[in-house]
Amino acid sequence: MKRVSLTQFLVEQQRQNNSIPAELRLLIEVVARACKTISHAVGKGALGEVLGTAGSENVQGEVQKKLDIISNEILLEANEWGGHLAAMASEEMESIHPIPNRYPMGEYLLMFDPLDGSSNIDVNVSIGTIFSVLKAPEGMSTPSEQDFLQPGTKQVAAGYAVYGPQTVLVLTTGNGVNCFTLDREMGSWVLTQSNVQIPADTKEFAINASNSRHWYPPVTRYVDEMLAGKTGPRGKDFNMRWIASMVADVHRILNRGGIFMYPADLREPEKAGKLRLMYEANPMAMIVEQAGGMATNGKERILDIQPTALHQRVAVFLGSRNEVELVTSYHKE
């Protein structure tokens, strides 16, 4: 079988669909290269002295792991000088990161969660990097937070890298979803899955069940019906999976179907959810929709939400279309 590299794939997409401008192709390649570097650091683990906490907190008030900070730095440094970006924003930083004046300013905005699933770092379970690309607004001279506050429908590309037994890069530029596996010997990304489709029906769900006493009634009803199995209203048995790393949970759903849920709950009623709209929900929603799935916040399509803040939170229900439709309908009742 002829091996197709990420670069070749992007160049051919550019020729066929004219969907990937040269600047965007370069940007994706640089992000992919940064993910390769992060994969290397993750793979070294204790040998690279990168495990454990850094003794600091991020803007979310979460304790930072050493690898969180290292990954953030890798992505910032890799993307600063290329000339295709106007600014970046990271889940780990309070405000945006404008491109330093000594470099040319490009027309794209990059957002990322440098290392998703931090609680899994020290126990050697899959973690990942999530990224989202927007176009800078017309006539923007100095980038501000406001320029990033675009609904998910405006994304021109989204993707994630999952650092598991294999390192896999999952990418969409609005023309389906493709997966690339890192060939560690050659150091190149090789196309291993094309036009991935999420099955519309599933028997698997992912949710942190330890929070069940705090759930709102629609979520309780939906999960209870699944747990009732063959004898319940759904008439079939369901399996539960929960990796506590959104990248790993979504990657499973992309490959074999399922529904991932991180609902808002009664612990902090003033918060719309826990996951971040800009760094996690929007890029994942774009990928899931491009693979034929569905993503809502229980009420509306995630990609239609107009962001009001850089670190805005949101409830997330995504995956196999028929299940997401059902749990969303329970919220609307």
91 is in an annotated binding site: yes
What are phi and psi for residue 99, nearest 5 degrees? -70, 130
188 is in an annotated binding site: no
274 is in an annotated binding site: yes
201 is in an annotated binding site: no
- Residue 32 CB-density burial (10 A; 0-12 exposed, 13-18 middle, 19+ buried): buried
Percentages (nearest 5) of helix, strand, coil residues in the chain: 40, 25, 35
115 is in an annotated binding site: yes
289 is in an annotated binding site: no
118 is in an annotated binding site: yes
Nearest to 286 by CA among 261, 242, 327, 316: 316
Residue with tokens 């957002």, as numbered in its chain: 111
Cβ contacts of residue 17 below 8 Å, gap of 6+? Answer: 175
Classify 123 as helix, strand or coil. helix
CB 275 within 8 A of CB 282: no
Q: What does the block give as tokens for 330?
A: 């329970």
Pair type for strands 204-206 and 259-262? parallel
Residue ranges for the known binding site are 91, 113, 115-119, 208, 274, 280
Residue ranges for the known binding site for Mg(2+) are 91, 113, 115-116, 280
Residue ranges for the known binding site for substrate are 116-119, 208, 274
